[in-house]
């Protein structure tokens, strides 16, 4: 499958089919790509390959949230979880779901198909990635049920916060970040960026 990381291109599915006419069902029938591809507004976009800071943020934030949310069954953070909802298919860098919204099977295992928007979507901006494209992705999730979005910009040391129909808010330094209200976690922007210091 030939897909650009930021600009959608035509792809072939048993012939020539433009992404402009590709349905979500047809997209989901395609083989998975690495890095993952996403389907938003009828277009396919492939995510960039994670680099050092991106991977560190992802691992440390997932661990931090799950240390708080999992023991009391409040919430759980999933890295690179495909979520299909409202005609789009996205793979947030981190998708956080309230425990009550996680789809469990009768045997108590997590289901493979996630057909709802995550309660909290966290994206980490990669070098050369379009901020507007990622902001549009977060906004689509917020419009369709997500409560909260973070866009972490490692190059500028700030986090853009998305909540409901408010304007996105740029936060930095000692600003205390909003989290899901079920989590007892007070974290500042500095705290998040200090996660990059492993020593």
At 44 the pLDDT is 94
At 20 the pLDDT is 54
At 19 the pLDDT is 44
Cis status of the peptide bond prior to 35, with omega within 30 of 0: yes
pLDDT in tens, 31-73: 999 999 999 988 999 999 999 999 999 999 999 999 999 999 9
Q: What single-letter DSSP state applies at residue 91?
A: -
pLDDT score of 151 more than 90? yes
At 22 the pLDDT is 85
pLDDT score of 26 more than 80? yes
Q: Give the residue from 104, 42, 102 showing the smallest Cα distance to 76.
A: 102
How many degrees, rounded to 5, is the angle at CA 103 between CA 97 and CA 104? 120
CA distances from 123 to 40, 58, 120, 137 (A): 15, 9, 10, 9
pTM: predicted TM-score of the whole model, two decimal places: 0.88
The average pLDDT across 175-192 equals: 97
**Where does residue 101 rank: exposed (0-12), middle (13-18), buried (19+ CB within 10 A)?**
middle
CA distances from 62 to 68, 121, 160 (A): 10, 12, 18
With tokens 């977060």, the residue in question is: 138
Residue boundaries of the structural domains of the chain? 11-46, 52-194
User: CA-to-CA distance for 126 and 93, rounded, in angstroms?
Assistant: 11
Q: Which residues contact 150 (CB under 8 A, 6 or more apart)?
A: 120, 121, 122, 123, 159, 160, 161, 162, 177
Residue 117: which pLDDT band, with cuts at 50, 70 and 90?
Answer: very high
At 11 the pLDDT is 41
At 128 the pLDDT is 84
pLDDT in tens, 67-100: 999 999 999 999 999 999 999 999 999 999 999 9
CATH 3.40.50.2000, applies to 52-194: no
């Amino acid at each position: 499958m030939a897909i650009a990381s930021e600009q959608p291109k035509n792809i072939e599915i048993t012939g020539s089919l433009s992404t402009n006419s590709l349905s979500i069902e047809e997209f989901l029938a395609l083989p998975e790509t690495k890095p993952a591809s996403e389907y938003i507004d009828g277009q396919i976009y492939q995510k960039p390959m994670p680099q050092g800071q991106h991977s560190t943020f992802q691992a440390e934030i997932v661990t931090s949230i799950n240390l708080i949310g999992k023991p009391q069954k409040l919430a759980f953070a999933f890295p690179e979880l495909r979520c299909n909802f409202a005609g789009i298919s996205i793979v947030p860098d981190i998708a956080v779901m309230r425990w009550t919204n996680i789809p469990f099977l009768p045997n108590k295992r997590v289901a493979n198909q996630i057909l709802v928007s995550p309660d909290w979507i966290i994206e980490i901006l990669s070098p050369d990635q379009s901020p507007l494209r990622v902001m549009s992705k977060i906004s689509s999730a917020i419009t369709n049920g997500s409560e909260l979005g973070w866009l972490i910009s490692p190059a500028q040391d700030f986090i853009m916060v998305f909540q409901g129909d408010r304007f996105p808010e740029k936060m930095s330094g000692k600003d205390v970040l909003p989290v899901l209200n079920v989590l007892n976690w007070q974290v500042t922007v500095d705290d998040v960026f200090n996660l990059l210091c492993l020593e």
